Amino acid sequence: MTIKAGDKMPAGVFTIPGPDGPQKLQADDLLKGKKVVLFSVPGAFTPTCDARHLPGFVQHAADFKAKGVDTVACMAVNDVFVMKAWGKASAVDDKVLMLADGNGDYAKALGLEMDATGFGMGMRGKRFAIVVEDGVAKQVLVEGPGEFKVSSAEHVLSVL
């Protein structure tokens, strides 16, 4: 079942780059008691994700803070080392939290996984953005195949 507005976000575990190597981060620790924009890309360094999706959130990080967002987080079905390298290459600094969903477990828990085997990418997460307040999905913005509109930083800002 796909998550929808009003649903509690599922439990799960992400891996994040830490100062001493990979660290586990429980979804509840990220989402409970906070306002979070969680956006997902099909893959780090892939064309739209790298050229438009992540850069928009980096560019507008201060605008999200001004609208009361505690954390902007980027999730992808990639390993933590790829997410760390992509964050470094994209100069995310502390503007966007890079979340590795290495096996796609969180994408599956959200009901937002996609089969990208036709592109040689295996199972991935769909392109989406979810506005979360205290662990509850307030807005669920899922892109259609090949689209990049409703999950862009600019669109998410317009609906906050």
Cα–Cα nearest to 34, from 2, 5, 70: 70
DSSP count for the chain of H helices, then E strands: 7, 9
CB burial of residue 66 (10 Å; 0-12, 13-18, 19+): exposed
Please say if 74 is a catalytic residue. Answer: no
Distance CA 91, CA 96 (A): 9
Partner residues linked to 98 by β-bridges: 74
User: Looking at 3, 9, 16, 49, which residue is catalytic?
Assistant: 49
Q: Are 49 and 152 in contact (CB under 8 A)?
A: no
Beta strands in the chain (DSSP E): 13-18, 21-26, 35-41, 71-76, 97-100, 113-115, 123-125, 128-133, 136-142
Positions marked catalytic: 49
